[in-house]
Chains A and B, each alone.
Chain A
Amino acid sequence: MEPIRPTGLQLFGSPVLFNSFPFLFVFLPAVAAAYFAVPWHRLRLLLVIGASYYFYAYADWWFPALMAGSTAISYTTGRLLDTETDERRRKLGLATGIVGVLALLAYFKYTAFVGGYALDFVHVLTRQSFPDARSFFHGIVLPIGISFYTFEGISYMVDVYRRTLRAERDVLRYAFFISFFPHLIAGPIVRYGILQPQLTQKHRFDADRVRSGLMLFALGLAKKVLLADGIAHWVDHYLATPGQLGLVNAWSCAVGFGFQIYFDFSAYSDMALGLARIFGIELPWNFDRPYRSASPTEFWRRWHVTLSTWLRDYLYIPLGGNRKGQRRQDLNLLATMGLGGLWHGASLNFVAWGLYHGLLLAGTHRGRRRGLSLPRPLGVAVTFILVVLGWVLFRMHSAHGIGALYAGMFGLHGIGGLPGHLALYIAIAAAIVFGLPEEWRWPVGRWNVAYVAATAVLFAVAVSSVYTSHPFLYFRF
């Protein structure tokens, strides 16, 4: 995975990210103070939209223009679908809107992928290498967050088309929905139906709510910089040479990466939920201790929930879901999860990861129909192992790396030693994952003074660690 190298708008020479000093000490306090100081609701919306576009411009100057374009397409399509009564025209309008926003995603995310393979194929036939075309494909920059706001736009258009949602007339509210900075870069994938009622009311400053949001944000930041980044340091260290990993350290790396990605992404979700709460907005939760799942089906009900429900409602069910026989259901699961994998990144390993999970889901459904079930503790253990095996496909980006790590995990490189620091991190992570509920479930709003003070200390330690923090993994998708 290539590290993100922001080239756009910066504060004090640093990009404005959740885990950065400019965000924590300048952007967030300034935007929150201005938000509550402004007495007019519409001006508040405008203020947050402006701040969100500024926030988005950190990665590159032209990204906000792209988001504005995507917003305009889905907003206009929604208005058209709301007023149009002719079903054929509505269908055509929906298709045009979806193609419009997907075209942006397809160009920026998948052109290099498809073009690269096409050139490889032509190269095999003609022995020509086309360096200009290759450098063109290489030069396409993926705008971060595009996968998220594209899916949000599609869900809005489809909901309006299905008449489960009235189209938004107020362009400010709609622009707020797409651009709201807490969920802009890496979700959760919000549906307009959840946000719409919250955007019509003016949120007064509520100290308890702000504290609750801050504490959720603090817990997320602590998870990210104290756990995810710590695990990442050691996982990256060992996985630099996957061919040298024996059974124990290969499994430690795979399990470590499983915890790393969970703590990284769920931390971002907690921070997003906490930030939104500060502004009076409740976003949908995205994780619910997924590693306690007793089956792959349950795992996807607990992992990246807003994506899995999106895939279910806008892809799996329209494809026929489980209504057209078992074989068709299997195919639908494979197609849905394969595309879900491709959504994560334009690379064959992500497709393989998606298909792997499609197979797990299909196998689970078939097993269930035959009355197969495991005792819950065994189910949790088996599911965890299966998910960890899948993370290898997600983490390693070459067939060689994947093969080397699997070979290590199956003992082909010997037993190997226990990686001390990583093992400690894994133990702490496992204790949290299997022993505590998800942070958004914690009743932070009702915590007493001692808990508040302890969270503040944890927050301060996390803030002090931001200096060496890594970018969030899901920024790449």
Chain B
Amino acid sequence: MRRLVLFIVVTAVVLGCFAAVTWWVDPLGEIWKPGALVTAERDDCLISQELIGTRYLSFKLAVFHDRPTRTFVVGSSRVLKIASHPHERSFANLGYPGTAPSTILKLVHTLPASPRQTMYVGVESFWFNRHYRVPDTNPSDYHLAEYLVSRSAFWNAFTFARDVSYVRYPDRWRRTTVGRRCTIGRTYPSINWALDGSRVWSWELDPKHYQRFHATPYRGNLNAWRNGYYADWETIDQARVAQLERALALARSRGWRVVGFAPPEPASIVRILEADPRIAPRWRAFLRLMPQVFGRYHDRWIGPAVRCPASAFPDLFHTDAACSLLVRDRLDLAARHAD
């Protein structure tokens, strides 16, 4: 019996050591590290994407709760530059890459019903393409357990900790400078998050050291363009429309103000969306459908109300800070009119 116990205990201890090292170093960003956000808040720094990893939802919820949030925006990566005004603490950006109607519904469920909120919903047409796969940004406990005892994750953690001394103790990150801003990160903080949840690219702060992103040109292959979001789009997925409606209904039941919008597109992309016969019918259906959906809950839909010049889209997909500020102003105006 003692040898059986020894066998089980040794196995458990070795796996436990693997898990502890992987948890501490977290080489793939699967573990939410609230301490990193606390440090960033204390030092008034940005927080690097390296420390957020796949845990967008946990990060955004922490942002929401750490601020006296009264207004927030949700949506895909294309709303992430919508930021708070200087010294404004009541605004939070809760958008993240991989947002979809299901994640918005989940987020609204998770947020407290009061105080009353103003919610800006940036709706993407491709969400209603059944083939758009919603990535997992809230891994299950089982998935995390699998990750923690995985040999490859442990090996990554071990080599990282061997090469990068500050990861070992007492923190798992360091304070670095990108341009004129400080950021809490690790080795290469190319993407950062501000404390209001909006995104800051390092090339905006330090164009000498960080490379700007490049656009994937449209060459007619929908599988290769914009991560394939528009490929094989046959119909408007009604299940996802229903999920969005449930989120709006829940917000309505809580007395929240809601303004819907379509994140801006450069004119060249609008031409593609309106002309490509594989997309255009669905794009037009989307633009027709959304006012009805938001109208059903007495919410405002301002559509792609802001036009920005091509230079405002560094990668022909995401808006820059100036264009996003225009969007924010337009949303604030719509919200005021909603009263």
Contact = CB atoms under 8 A, between A and B. Distances in A.
B152 A460 contact: no
Nearest to A453: B10
B10 A13 contact: no
Interface in B110-156: 140, 142-143, 145-147, 149-154
Contact of B3 (A12, A208, A457): A208
What is the interface of chain A mostly: helix, strand, loop, or mixed?
helix
B142 A461 contact: no
Which of A211, A449, A464 has the most chain B CB within a 10 Å cutoff?
Answer: A464
Given A460-B14, A464-B151, A467-B146, 6 more contacts: A21-B145, A452-B10, A453-B6, A453-B10, A456-B8, A467-B153
Contacts of A13: 140, 142-143
Interface residues of B, number: 24
A447 B3 CA distance: 9
B11 interface: yes
Contact of B11 (A12, A207, A463, A467): A463
A316 interface: no
Shortest Cβ-Cβ A-B pairs, 7 listed: A460-B14, A456-B10, A464-B151, A12-B142, A467-B150, A207-B1, A211-B4
Contacts of B146: 21, 467
**Residue in B18, B145, B149 whose Cβ sees the most chain A Cβ within 10 Å:** B149
A68 to B, nearest CB: 30
Interface in A427-464: 447, 449, 452-453, 455-457, 459-461, 463-464
Contacts of A14: 142
A205 to B, nearest CB: 10
Contact of B15 (A207, A460, A468): A460
A215 B7 contact: yes
A461 B4 contact: no
7 contacts: A12-B140, A14-B142, A21-B149, A210-B4, A455-B7, A464-B18, A465-B152
A103 to B, nearest CB: 40
Given A13-B142, A21-B146, A460 B11 contact: yes
A461 B152 CA distance: 11
Interface of A: 12-14, 21, 207-208, 210-211, 214-215, 447, 449, 452-453, 455-457, 459-461, 463-465, 467-468
Please indicate which of the listed interface residues B3, B8, B153 has the most CB atoms of chain A within 10 Å of its own CB.
B3
Nearest to A455: B7
A464 B6 contact: no
Contacts of B15: 460, 463-464
A211 B150 contact: no
Contact of A461 (B1, B8, B9, B151): B151
B7 A464 contact: no
Contacts of B147: 467
Contacts of A211: 3-4, 7
Contact of A452 (B6, B143, B149, B152): B6
A459 B4 CA distance: 13
A457 B15 CA distance: 9
Contacts of A21: 142, 145-146, 149
